[in-house]
Amino acid sequence: MVEPERHPFLEGLSKHRGAPPTVVVIFGASGDLTARKLIPAIYNLSYDNLLPAEFHLVGYGRKPIPDEEFRSMAAKAIKDFSRRELDSDIWGRVAANTTYVSGGYDEKAGFDRLASHIRAIEGRVGSEVQSLFYISTPPSVFESIIANLGSSGLGGRYLGQTHHSKVIIEKPFGMDLDSARLLNGTLGSVFEEGQVYRIDHYLGKETVQDLLVQRFANAIFEPLWNRNYIDSVQITVAEDQGVGTRAGYYEQSGCLRDMIQNHTTQLLALTAMEPPGSFEAEALRDEKVKVLKAIEPVALGPDGDVARAQYAAGMLAGKSVPGYLDEQGIARDSATETFAAIRLSINNWRWHGVPFYLRSGKRLPRRVSEIAVQFKRPPGTIFPSKDGFNLAPNTLSFQIQPDEGLGMVLNAKIPGLETRTQPVKMSFRYATTFGSNTPEAYERLVLDAMIGDGTLFIRGDEAETSWGLYTPVLQFWKSEGRRGMEAYAAGSWGPAAADRLLAARGHAWRQP
Ligand SMILES: NC(=O)c1ccc[n+]([C@@H]2O[C@H](COP(=O)([O-])OP(=O)(O)OC[C@H]3O[C@@H](n4cnc5c(N)ncnc54)[C@H](OP(=O)(O)O)[C@@H]3O)[C@@H](O)[C@H]2O)c1
């Protein structure tokens, strides 16, 4: 058996953040997310000794799968997708308590079987065990799973005053404001808000949490973090992949729903929120909701605040790739955007007049997520403006992924007998400072939900506030059909419309 690695991120975790005895039930356990993220996350938590001594894993799905086969599927998922190799002793500890229950998501009898299965586990353990239900199915069955968790009594289990059941719900949380409200209503009829953990896996990323540490553990930033010193903020979530095999899902979703409404807006909220009174879930989420509520309604139409486009054929990494409309499973007249850019204004004292530019897209030159805070230029300069003089605005950039880190662009004197300047970059890289074996977002999130810490999850009102902002845009685009839809070559940084959005305020996108 391998010794658990000592890793600075994990120091002290096992001592201070113990989860109670838990049974994790995954709905949709034969699916892609379970194999790629959830099983590897559970394995790595076991590797780091962060699972409770009494830990049970139950898969649930429509297809009958014998326990042994589910364990083999899980072992294969670890081999294929875990950041650490499969160690048979470590996996064996989890596998010994891994079982499968088959049943429909709308079949009450299936949930009754699940309830008996959990009671049988508790019988063997000799006490009650908290249940964490992870809904990892397509959203079409979210509602029936929640309703059946209610009708089978699984959703409302208590031990004394403490909730004994929790639910993690995957994205997308609704398709617009109405459907998000409906889903919140269904959740609210079975669970209390404190039992509900809405996933945005971006919040589980180390670099996203580091953004809070940088902002609130370093005194130098706060005095500058406002409209007096900051000129604009750019948030980019770029993918190099095309739609791939997910055409069915993507045609219903599009970039605004898939990336902007959740991940990109979460990055904005963490960048722009006021300092919370504590690092408690409610304190942090209150501040996020407050800043989202301060965002002004988005202007639509020509010269409005939004741009959308679809990728056309182009070259990426030396290969030619087809345009969106030529991808398999995509309608020739599809009006689904693969790129969206948006200009947001926050109407509060800190941010009045500072544009926040958000963009995301598929088939961009590389996969990168970044927040770039651009500071105002110095008021005048003592340095002569002549050839070789190149005064750049200071920019603080948080690289969320890949090559996680933080960079600051400063102006420096080029060595020599003349005074010539050049922008230089000071940077901190996670991999060089802390080593590269960083925990995956899902490890942190599954552990937090087991412990009962909702800080890195989305609260119901937060999901609705975010949808409230973007639903008018979705409705407008729907009414426009393909009118105003631009194209951008695959492998480029997006359409001309996105450049115009910034140029209107004297800005330009930076190359992340
Ligand atoms: N995959 C990812 O990388 C990823 C990333 C972020 C978020 N998510 C979210 O995570 C959830 C699960 O994603 P996934 O990629 O794992 O989904 P998936 O593989 O398409 O489906 C998961 C499981 O749900 C059941 N299922 C599939 N289609 C169904 C349908 N139409 N009606 C009822 N059950 C159905 C199947 O299990 P049985 O046939 O055994 O019942 C399937 O194995 C989704 O909400 C997705 O948006 C996924």
Last residue of a domain, one of 170, 192, 218: 170
Nearest Cα to 477, choosing from 355, 335, 356? Answer: 335
Pairing of strands 368-375, 230-238: antiparallel
29 Cα: distance to centroid of ligand 1 (angstroms): 8
Alpha-carbon distance of 366 to 282, in angstroms, equals 36
Domain that holds residue 54: 8-170
Q: If residue 287 lies in a helix (H) or strand (E), which one and from where to where?
A: helix 281-293
* Residue to mutate, 33, 36, 458, ligand 1, most ligand atoms under 8 Å from C-beta: 33
What are the C-alpha distances in Å from 461 to residues 183, 247, 346?
12, 30, 18
Q: Which of 26, 32, 144 to mutate to test the pocket of ligand 1 (most atoms within 8 A of CB)?
A: 32
Q: Is residue 163 flagged as an active site residue?
A: no
User: What does the radius of gyration of the chain's CA atoms come to, in whole angstroms?
Assistant: 24
DSSP 385-438: --TT---PPPEEEEEEESS-EEEEEEEEEPSSSS--EEEEEEEEEHHHHH-S-P
Identify the residues whose C-beta falls under 6 Å from ligand 1.
28, 30-34, 36, 61-63, 105, 136-141, 170-172
Instruction: Please report, in angstroms and rounded to a whole number, the separation of the first and last CA atoms in the chain.
Output: 42
DSSP H/E element including 249:
helix 247-253
For residue 407, is it within any domain?
Answer: yes
- H/E stretch holding 369: strand 368-375
For ligand 1, atom 48, which residue shows the shortest CA distance?
A: 33
pTM for the structure as a whole: 0.93
Q: Are residues 369 and 496 in the same domain?
A: yes
Where residue 75 sits, what CATH number does that domain have? 3.40.50.720
DSSP 34: I
Q: Give residue 443 CA to ligand 1 midpoint distance, Å.
A: 19
Residue 197 falls within a domain, yes or no? no
Whether residue 132 contacts residue 25, with contact meaning beta carbons closer than 8 Å, is answered with: yes
Clarify whether residues 163 and 208 are in a common domain: no
Looking at the structure of the chain, the number of domains it has is 2
Q: How far is the CA of 138 from the centre of ligand 1 (A)?
A: 4
Instruction: Output the domain CATH number for residue 316.
Output: 3.30.360.10
**Residue 98 and residue 156 in one domain:** yes
**Residues 241, 364: one domain?**
yes
217 in the same domain as 147:
no
Measure 203 CA to ligand 1 centroid, in angstroms.
21
Contacts of 1 (CB under 8 A, 6+ apart): 87, 89, 90
- 388, with CB counted inside 10 A (0-12, 13-18, 19+), is exposed
Nearest residue (CA) to ligand 1, atom 19: 31
Q: Which atom of ligand 1 is nearest to the CA of 34?
A: 16
Q: What is the Å distance from ligand 1's center to 27 Cα?
A: 9
Is 295 a member of any domain? yes
Asked if the structure places residue 19 within a domain, the reply is yes
* Atom 13 (ligand 1) nearest CA: 33
Residue 311 lies in a domain: yes
Classify 450 in phi/psi space as left (phi over 0), alpha (psi -120 to 50) or beta.
alpha
Angle, helices 206-217/265-272, rounded to nearest 10 degrees: 20
User: Of the candidates 170, 194, 222, which is a domain's last residue?
Assistant: 170
Ligand 1: residue whose CA is nearest its atom 42:
31
**Region for residue 49 given its phi and psi (left: phi exceeds 0; alpha: psi -120 to 50; beta: otherwise):** left
Backbone angles phi, psi at 159, to 5 degrees: -125, 105
Contact by Cβ (8 Å): 231, 355: no
CA–centroid distance, residue 28 to ligand 1 (Å): 6
**111, 47: one domain:** yes
Cβ(232)–Cβ(374) below 8 Å: yes
Residues 49 and 147 in one domain: yes
Residue nearest to atom 40 of ligand 1 (CA): 61
Q: How many Å apart are CA 415 and CA 423, to the nearest integer?
A: 13
Question: For atom 47 of ligand 1, which residue has the closest CA?
Answer: 171
Does 182 map to a domain?
no
Distance 148 CA to ligand 1 centre (A): 18
Selecting among 56, 117, 201, 263, the annotated active-site residue is 263
Residue 1 included in any domain: no
Rounded distance from Cα 220 to ligand 1 centre (Å): 45
Do 286 and 145 fall within a single domain?
no
Residue whose tokens read 């009958």:
64
Q: How confident is the prediction along the chain (512 residues), in pLDDT tens digits per residue? A: 444 455 554 454 444 568 889 999 999 999 999 999 999 999 999 999 999 999 999 999 999 999 999 999 999 999 999 999 999 999 999 999 999 999 999 999 999 999 999 999 999 999 889 999 999 999 999 999 999 999 999 997 665 555 689 999 999 999 999 999 999 999 999 999 999 999 999 898 888 888 999 999 999 999 999 999 999 999 999 999 999 988 999 999 999 999 999 999 999 999 999 999 988 899 999 999 999 999 999 999 888 999 999 999 999 989 999 999 999 999 999 999 999 999 999 999 999 999 999 999 999 999 999 999 999 988 777 776 665 566 788 999 999 989 889 999 998 888 888 878 888 999 999 888 887 677 889 999 999 999 999 999 999 999 999 999 999 999 999 999 999 999 999 999 999 999 999 999 999 999 88
Examine the domain organization and report whether 377 and 236 are in the same domain. Answer: yes
- Interatomic CA distance for residues 369 and 374, integer angstroms: 16
In this structure, the residue with its CA closest to atom 33 of ligand 1 is: 141
Which residue pairs from 347-353 have beta carbons closer than 8 angstroms and sit at least 24 positions apart in sequence?
347/294, 347/295, 347/296, 348/291, 348/294, 349/226, 349/227, 350/225, 350/226, 350/227, 350/272, 350/274, 351/226, 351/227, 351/272, 351/294, 352/227, 353/227
Return the number of other C-beta atoms located less than 10 Å from residue 91's C-beta: 22
| Residue nearest atom 4 of ligand 1, based on CA coordinates | 33
Ligand 1 atom nearest the C-alpha of 36 is 3
Among residues 147, 170, 193, the one where a domain terminates is: 170
CA atoms within 13 A on the CB side of 3: 3
Q: Which of 114, 135, 136 for mutating ligand 1's site (highest number of atoms within 8 Å of CB)?
A: 136
If you take atom 36 of ligand 1, which residue's CA is the nearest one? 28
**Residue 150, in any domain of the structure:** yes
- Which ligand 1 atom is the nearest neighbour of the CA of 201? 6
What contacts 410, CB < 8 A, 6 or more positions away?
Answer: 394, 423, 424, 425, 426
- Residue 93's pLDDT is 95
**Which has the closest alpha carbon to 147: 96, 95, 183, 173?**
183
Q: Whose CA is nearest to atom 11 of ligand 1?
A: 136
CB 175 within 8 A of CB 142: no
* Same domain assignment for residues 86 and 221: no
**105 three-class SS:** coil
On whether both 84 and 211 belong to a single domain, the answer is no
Q: Note whether 310 and 372 are same-domain residues.
A: yes
Q: What is the pLDDT of residue 2?
A: 44
Distance 323 CA to ligand 1 centre (A): 26
What is the number of the ligand 1 atom nearest to the C-alpha of 37?
A: 3
Residue 31 CA, ligand 1 centroid: distance in Å: 5
Residue 359 φ/ψ, nearest 5 degrees: -145, 150
Q: Say if residues 110 and 117 touch (Cβ distance below 8 Å).
A: no
Q: Which atom of ligand 1 is nearest to the CA of 62?
A: 41
CA atoms of 405 and 403, how far apart (whole Å): 6
What's the count of helices (H) and strands (E) in the chain, helices before strands? 17, 19
